[in-house]
Structure 1
Amino acid sequence: MIPVLTGEEMRKVDGAYINKIGIPSIVLMERAGIGVAQFVMSIAKNPTDERIVVLAGPGNNAGDAFVVSRYLMEEDHEISIIMTSDEDSLSKDARKNLGIIKDRNNLKIIKRDSNWQEALEGATIVIDGLLGTGAKPGLRGLMAEIAEFLEYTSSYVVAVDMPSGIEATTGETGDRCIKADATITLGFPKLGLFAPQTSEFVGDIYLHPLGYPIEAFTEIEVKTFLLEPRDILTNMKARAEASHKGDYGKLLVVAGSRGLVGAAVMTANTAVRGGAGLVKLALPETIETQARSHLIEVMTIPLPDRDGMLYDDSIPELRKWRDWADCVVFGPGVGVSDGVGEVLREILSWNKPTVIDADGINNLATMNIGKLPDESIITPHPGEMSRLLNKGIDKIQGDRINTARDCAKRYQTTVVLKGRNTIITEQDVEYGNTYINPTGGPSLASGGTGDILTGLIGSLMVQGYTPQEASVNSVYLHGLAGDIISVENGDEYLSATDLIEELPRAYDTVKTRYMWTEPFANLMPFPIWGEARRNYEVKGETPI
């Protein structure tokens, strides 16, 4: 897994590297520039065909951009640098790197009061070195004008570390920011890159590691991580040769209501595909016949119902299976009512690991329930989280990580907050970790995909995975299955049941890409989010 840092944490790591370990800051600047230059050279192979413009603001980010310029000029690229501030505003290291290149024949420096528009109009590649991770959200003045102008060009924009104008920790963008096609984040990814509001601005995200030793982390405690394939494979549990279905758990799925039979069926069938030893589906008796026609490996438990929904009288029959179940999945398609709430209350009283999703969460939000049973998991999307915490969706999306942590603390449970870059937060908020998932995309915006995820989580839980392992592996593989379909068929052509069939391929893909950084030797940038990551992980296409 890859540490994901706030802007302040990144500055502390840099400071420890420079001041405690003794690596000069200009060495870090050189390493940063080399990686970005390597990326640019991978997409600009013929110097005569490219017009490269570098945007340089105040501070160290300009220094990184000057190093990039130097390496590109050494490969015979013509470079134009647009300076948005005076040289006096540059850091000492940035001024030194500008001094190294300013007399080169293949360099043109454009001052802030010159015709910078002409340079950008013909640019094929633009390198954004305006602002770094310490900047406030949004761009103003000349920088805002440049950002707006770029949106009307066809230039391929490469952001150094962060697209200028995006706040490194929160992802706030202000009124204007640079819209990048690729972001080369330096050292470690920044939290702001994964905020929902930044998705249209960051492009494909590449990580350029700068070789920080462990001693650089003495000033911070990292608790947020980006998942990668090796994490999933490390969690995987091999099956013993001499084993039987009883060794892989018994999962009780309580789901479905009239008109929502599919949610119950998809959840239960996914649990089987995920490897659960035995799966039983408890559902309203009036829809049991309809559901059974779509179930082969799943056993059904018809429960008394009222108007096609579970209610108080469902409990005695359901209670017969309390001792049988190792874990309970509750919620997909059950509907919301006082009677369904009583069924949920009964299940929670069993003190068994429980995975609560969909209408299970909507019922939970209406109940005065404190701590959930140990090793339980809830899987809300932003709307369901809004009802759980009585918090606006905009506020949830504006701070997804802390929202997930608040929910984990409120219910003392593992939380899977679904959406772009699904967030997984461990039950122990004080000492546990939070994980950001890079897989999946708009192809998953289809009814029923959440039921597939819930069935997979429940399946792994009964096989002996911890809530953290079950959540992390399920979310990653579920998203990767969507990626496989997206790459092969497009984002529009996915139905939820397609995911069930692609889960084995997703697992095989994880095994193939176990060491996904191996092709990127010599500290080369490698893709961690977006189309480039998807194409590499699914098809093995090395992007640079």
Structure 2
Amino acid sequence: MRIATSEIMRKIDNYCINELKIPGIVLMENAALKVVSNLQLDKYSSFCVVCTKGNNGGDGFAVARHLHVLNKEVNVFLLGNKDGMSDDCRINYNILKEIGVNVVNINNIQEINILRDSIEKSQVIIDAMFGTGLSRKIEGIFDSVISMINDKGKYVISIDVPSGLESNTGEILGNCVKANKTISFQLYKRGFLNYNTSNLIGKIVVEDIGIPEIAINKFYNNECIVDESMIREKIKVRDKYSYKGDYGRVFIVAGSDGFTGAAYICVQGAVRSGAGLVTLCCSEKIQPILSSKLVEAMTMSFDQKEKVKEMIEKSDAVAIGPGMGNNEVTYQLLQYVISNAIKPVVIDADAINVLKGRANILKNKKCKVIITPHLGEMARVTGLSIDYIKENRLEVSKKFAKDYNVIVLLKGYNTIITDGYTTLVNPTGNSAMASGGMGDCLTGMIASFIGQGHEPMEATYIAAFIHGYCGEKLSKDMFCVNASHILENLPFIIKKFTGEFMKD
């Protein structure tokens, strides 16, 4: 599912209308039909459609016409005067008048009672006030009507974008409709990714309204949401003649005294997601503990310097950071790994924390690097506040990825994965997974998929999607999902995405 800003949508619309000669009224009609198809007409019979004079209002007038033709009870309102009404909106407005549908014009607070009555009596409120182009603060009668919809509406559907939501940032422009469902068109709006929008947009449906691919591809900026089809397409099916060497050597540098669990989970994340050979490098003090627990992986200590160098050089992927501690030893080990590695390196946890003020070491490398911070770690390494990063996750991630030529996986709701040029958003996972060890598991999985032959960007989004997907499935029957539950179920979930048994 591709993501767009309001500027991109405007360019696409203009290109369709001016260059491809698709009349705007055709796109408006297609949009209206898709809205109607999502209205559960077998369940609901009375509708209140609230419109303004722009194209979003035109969509609403067209929806109202179809509801009238279907013999539904429909009350239609135009907020504000009709001076300056867009051409396509005026066409649908006039059609309604011609077929005998009364459009009540609400110009001031004194006239608002009739709208309040309709909102209270109707089963469904259709918000067709403001679309993706809104940039000014909601005020006056529009503010009052939005508050009334939120207070009195039983079930609210927003067309394209909940009115009052800045579609690029997810910012509330003074006041915003709280929709139960948002029916958006063609591309997912970037503002929907904001942390604060989930209680405003409700269930999201993105409908194709007949915009040709040539128009989308001309302006689309390589941002999309990962879905199951992408994972099924990319997961490698195992050939029956393959052996462990075909599925990668993964080298993991992790753990410290008191933090053996992080190292264990990271290693198991690699093992359970299919890596052929996994070796843990840890301090000599904790090596006996982890050797006894890791029956399917090998261990060695930091002190075996020549062997460490050899393992870094011959491994297909290296992961470093979980449970190591934010200290100089961790920094020295990270620096050593980066300077010696040729194959991709996944940097997580304390290996990110030690980059505070020293991120320039990421610029001098011969290997691909994937950095996997949560918000706090991203704040430390960038010097930006957590609140700022929350509001600008895409921009912050893309800039860091470009500046340091790395892949960034910024964890959290709608995890961001970007190399600075292509950006993917992972929609899987939920708060049932909010517990220690989840990130360690993900780090091991990313390294594992790289070891199995996936390109670093590909391995990162596959791991993120499956990790979150596994947690979602388990949370249907569990109050909380821990990393150990993910590890236990990973092979079964990955098998689901191969879609077939071993190749002949």
Q: TM-score range by the shorter chain?
A: over 0.9
Q: Deviations over 1:194-242 (max 9, x none)?
A: 1223222111111111122233247525221122222112222222221
Aligned partner of 1:361 among 339, 342, 352: 352
Quote the Cα distance in structure 2 between the aligned partners of 1:242 and 1:218: 41
Q: 1:351 deviation in Å? A: 2.6
Partner in structure 1 of residue 112 of structure 2: 114
Aligned partner of 1:60 among 51, 55, 61: 55
Partner in structure 1 of residue 66 of structure 2: 71
User: Does the CA-based 8 Å contact 1:484-1:506 persist in structure 2?
Assistant: no
Quote the Cα distance in structure 2 between the aligned partners of 1:124 and 1:512: 42
Q: Within the alignment, does 1:489 sit opposite 2:477 as a pair?
A: yes
- Which amino acid letter does the alignment assign opposite residue 355 of structure 1? V
Quote the Cα distance in structure 2 between the aligned partners of 1:505 and 1:93: 52
SS state of the match for residue 413, structure 2? coil
Tell me: CA distance 1:478–1:64, structure 2 relative to 1, closer, same or farther (3 Å). same
Quote the Cα distance in structure 1 between the aligned partners of 2:98 and 2:212: 36
- Which amino acid letter does the alignment assign opposite residue 232 of structure 2? L
- RMSD across aligned C-alpha pairs, in angstroms? 2.2
SS state of the match for residue 49, structure 2? strand
Alignment of structure 1 residues 390-539 onto 2, 5 Å: 390-426=383-419, 429=420, 432-486=421-475, 488-489=476-477, 492-510=479-497
Alignment of structure 1 residues 62-211 onto 2, 5 Å: 62-102=57-97, 109=104, 111-112=106-107, 113-115=111-113, 116-136=115-135, 138-153=137-152, 155-211=154-210
User: Does the CA-based 8 Å contact 2:338-2:367 persist in structure 1?
Assistant: no
- Which amino acid letter does the alignment assign opposite residue 300 of structure 1? T
Tell me: CA distance 1:66–1:509, structure 2 relative to 1, closer, same or farther (3 Å). farther
Q: Deviations over 1:416-444 (max 9, x none)?
A: 11111111112xx3xx3111122222223
SS state of the match for residue 299, structure 2? strand
Aligned partner of 2:309 among 314, 319, 327: 319
Tell me: CA distance 1:403–1:145, structure 2 relative to 1, closer, same or farther (3 Å). same
Quote the Cα distance in structure 2 between the aligned partners of 1:221 and 1:401: 15
Partner in structure 2 of residue 526 of structure 1: none
Tell me: CA distance 1:209–1:505, structure 2 relative to 1, closer, same or farther (3 Å). farther
Alignment of structure 1 residues 338-353 onto 2, 5 Å: 338-352=328-342, 353=344
Q: Deviations over 1:331-378 (max 9, x none)?
A: 011111112211111111113321001111001224241424422211
SS state of the match for residue 219, structure 2? coil
Q: Which stretch of the first structure deviates more once superposed, 18-27 or 95-104?
A: 95-104
SS state of the match for residue 301, structure 2? strand
SS state of the match for residue 168, structure 1? coil
User: Does the CA-based 8 Å contact 1:131-1:164 persist in structure 2?
Assistant: yes
- Which amino acid letter does the alignment assign opposite residue 140 of structure 1? E
User: Does the CA-based 8 Å contact 2:32-2:60 persist in structure 1?
Assistant: yes
Q: Within the alignment, does 1:379 sit opposite 2:372 as a pair?
A: yes
Q: Which stretch of the first structure deviates more once superposed, 460-469 or 443-452?
A: 443-452
SS state of the match for residue 386, structure 1? helix
User: Does the CA-based 8 Å contact 2:4-2:220 persist in structure 1?
Assistant: no
Alignment of structure 1 residues 169-318 onto 2, 5 Å: 169-217=168-216, 219-303=218-302, 315=305, 318=308
Q: 1:257 deviation in Å? A: 1.4
- Which amino acid letter does the alignment assign opposite residue 184 of structure 1? I
User: Does the CA-based 8 Å contact 1:251-1:458 persist in structure 2?
Assistant: yes
Structure 1: 5+ residue stretches without partners: 305-313, 514-544
Partner in structure 1 of residue 326 of structure 2: 336
Q: Deviations over 1:363-413 (max 9, x none)?
A: 122424142442221111111111111111122121111111111122211
- Which amino acid letter does the alignment assign opposite residue 414 of structure 2? N
Quote the Cα distance in structure 2 between the aligned partners of 1:16 and 1:167: 23
Task: Kindly report structure 1 stretches of 4+ aligned residues shifted beyond 6 Å.
Answer: none
Q: 1:315 deviation in Å? A: 4.6
Quote the Cα distance in structure 2 between the aligned partners of 1:277 and 1:105: 71
- Which amino acid letter does the alignment assign opposite residue 272 of structure 1? V
Quote the Cα distance in structure 2 between the aligned partners of 1:162 and 1:281: 49
Tell me: CA distance 1:186–1:242, structure 2 relative to 1, closer, same or farther (3 Å). same
Tell me: CA distance 1:508–1:252, structure 2 relative to 1, closer, same or farther (3 Å). closer
Aligned partner of 2:46 among 23, 41, 51: 51
User: Does the CA-based 8 Å contact 1:76-1:106 persist in structure 2?
Assistant: no
User: Does the CA-based 8 Å contact 2:235-2:498 persist in structure 1?
Assistant: no
Q: Deviations over 1:72-118 (max 9, x none)?
A: 22222111223211222421211211222236567663634231222
Tell me: CA distance 1:10–1:393, structure 2 relative to 1, closer, same or farther (3 Å). same
User: Does the CA-based 8 Å contact 1:281-1:300 persist in structure 2?
Assistant: yes
SS state of the match for residue 38, structure 2? helix
Q: Which stretch of the first structure deviates more once superposed, 30-39 or 225-234?
A: 225-234
Q: 1:497 deviation in Å? A: 1.7
Quote the Cα distance in structure 2 between the aligned partners of 1:259 and 1:476: 30
Quote the Cα distance in structure 2 between the aligned partners of 1:506 and 1:85: 53
- Which amino acid letter does the alignment assign opposite residue 363 of structure 1? V
User: Does the CA-based 8 Å contact 2:46-2:74 persist in structure 1?
Assistant: yes
Quote the Cα distance in structure 2 between the aligned partners of 1:199 and 1:86: 32
- Which amino acid letter does the alignment assign opposite residue 56 of structure 2? N
Q: 1:317 deviation in Å? A: 5.7
User: Does the CA-based 8 Å contact 1:16-1:217 persist in structure 2?
Assistant: no
Tell me: CA distance 1:119–1:154, structure 2 relative to 1, closer, same or farther (3 Å). closer
TM-score, L = length of structure 2: 0.92
Q: 1:281 deviation in Å? A: 1.1
Tell me: CA distance 1:511–1:208, structure 2 relative to 1, closer, same or farther (3 Å). farther
Q: Deviations over 1:217-271 (max 9, x none)?
A: 4752522112222211222222222111011111011111122211111110010
Quote the Cα distance in structure 1 between the aligned partners of 2:278 and 2:17: 56
Tell me: CA distance 1:493–1:153, structure 2 relative to 1, closer, same or farther (3 Å). farther
User: Does the CA-based 8 Å contact 1:315-1:343 persist in structure 2?
Assistant: no
SS state of the match for residue 184, structure 1? strand
SS state of the match for residue 197, structure 2? helix
Tell me: CA distance 1:195–1:247, structure 2 relative to 1, closer, same or farther (3 Å). same
Tell me: CA distance 1:495–1:370, structure 2 relative to 1, closer, same or farther (3 Å). closer
Alignment coverage as a number of residue pairs: 493
- Which amino acid letter does the alignment assign opposite residue 369 of structure 1? I
SS state of the match for residue 464, structure 2? helix
Q: 1:503 deviation in Å? A: 2.6
User: Does the CA-based 8 Å contact 1:56-1:81 persist in structure 2?
Assistant: yes
Quote the Cα distance in structure 2 between the aligned partners of 1:60 and 1:445: 42
SS state of the match for residue 361, structure 2? coil
Tell me: CA distance 1:315–1:158, structure 2 relative to 1, closer, same or farther (3 Å). farther
